[in-house]
Amino acid sequence: MGSSCFISGVDASAFSLANLPYGVFSAPHQPPRPCVRVGEAVLDLCSLERRGLLPSSAALPLFDTPTLNTFMSAGPQVWAGVRQQLQQLLAVETPTLRDAPDVQAQVLHPLSDVTLHLPVRIGNYTDFYASRQHATNVGTLFRGPNNALPPNWLHLPIGYHGRASSVVVSGTPIRRPSGQMRPAGAEAPVFGPSQELDLEVELGAVIGTGNALGAPIPVDEAPAHIFGYVLVNDWSARDIQRWEYKPLGPFLGKSFATTISPWIVPAAALEPFRVALDPQMPAPLPYLNQGERLGIDIDLAVDLMAENGTAMSIIETNAQYLYWTFPQMVAHHTVNGCNLQPGDLLASGTISGPAPHSFGSLLERTTGGARALMLSDGSTRTFLADGDTIVLRGEARRGDLRIGFGEARGTVQPAQ
C-alpha cells in the first residue's frame, strides 16, 4: 500500500495503512465491536458496514458482532477485499471520510478513550514447542546436553492442547497459581502458591478458515488458513509443571493464564518480512516438506517492571528463530484429520535465540533459577515476584516500514 493516510501522524507510525491490525473495542455506553487500529485511533468497522462503506459477502453482517470470528470465517478473498477498501477509505486522496468530519466523529475514536477486548472467540488453543534453541536450553537443564532434544523433535512440531478459557487480553491481571509441587530433596509433594512463576515469549497464529473433520490441510495450502498473528505470553508455573508433567505433559502449570495482544496483525501485512530459513536436517517427511520455507522477521522484546517502578529489559529475541514454521504447525495439527475452526489459536511455544539475552523465558535466562538477574535498584529475580508487570512488545521493521503488534501486558497478583 503506497498511499498516505489523511489522519495526521499515521504514516510514520507502526500502525499505518500498511498494517491495519484488527481488534475489538467498546466506547462508553456501547457494546464491543470490531475495529482496526490506525495510528493512535480505532476505526469502527461495524459503523462503516452499516453505512455501506465496506464490501459485503454474506447474508449476515461481518462486523455487527462482539468478535472477529464471522469475518475470519469468510475467507481470504473477503479479507483482501475489506483490507483494500479500508486502505482506500483512509487514503489522503479519498474524500469519503476525509471530507466528512461528522462521520469521522462517529467512526474514529481515540485509542485512549476506548476499552480493548479479546478480539476473537477462541474455541481451541494449541501450544507448540517450535524453537530449537529453547528446546535445547530446557532439555539441557532437565536431561543434560547429550539428551537435550527428544528423539522426535527434529521430525515433527511437538505441541499440546492448551486451555482456551484462560486466554486473556493484554492488561488482564494474572493471579499467581497454587498447586502441588515437590521441593528439591523432598520425598512428598506440598501444596501452595507457585514459587517459580515464569513468562514465555511466543507468537500466535489465529486461524481464519478451518477444515472439515477428517480432511487434512496440506502444508502449501496452510498459509491461506491463517488470518493473522498475535503476541502470546504463556505464563508458566515451573515448579507445578515439573512435578505434574510426566507422563502427559503440561496441565495446571500452564492452564491458569495465557495473555495475548489485543491486535491481530493480518498475514498480508507481514509479507514484506518473510525471510528464507535454513534447510531442515534431517529433511521432514513429505507432508511437512515446504517448497520454500519462510519465517517472519519480527523483533520481540520483554520489559519487567517491579511494583516499586524499577524497570529492566530482560529479553530481546526474534520470531525468525523458530525452527518449525506456522504452515508446518497447521499441516501437522490437521494431518490426523483434526478440524481447526475460525478463531483457534496456535502458539509457537517459547522463542529463543542463540545468545542469553535472546532466551525467551526466565527459566533459561536464569539457568533454572541458579543465576539471578539483577534489576537497576539492586534487587534480583530468578522468577517473577508479586507486583511484577511483564510487557511483551513486537514490531517488524524494514527500512521506513514498521508493522506494530502493540503489547501483551500482565501484572502478577498474589495467590488467592
User: d(Cα 304, Cα 312) in Å, to the nearest integer?
Assistant: 5
Q: Which residues pair with 125 in a beta bridge?
A: 345
Classified as helix, coil or strand, 353 is coil
Classified as helix, coil or strand, 71 is helix
User: d(Cα 301, Cα 318) in Å, to the nearest integer?
Assistant: 8
The amino acid present at 204, given as its one-letter code, is G
Residues in contact with 370: Cβ distance below 8 Å, sequence separation at least 6, in sequence order: 382
DSSP state of 113: G
DSSP state of 27: -
Pull the grid cell for residue 219.
502444508
Annotate 381-400 with three-state secondary structure: ECCCCCCCEEEEEEEEEECC
Of 109, 134, 225, 333, which is the active-site residue?
134
Closest CA to 302 of 367, 204, 236, 394: 394
| Angle, alpha carbons 116-120-125 (nearest 5°) | 120
DSSP state of 297: -
134 catalytic residue (yes or no): yes
Write out the catalytic residue numbers: 134
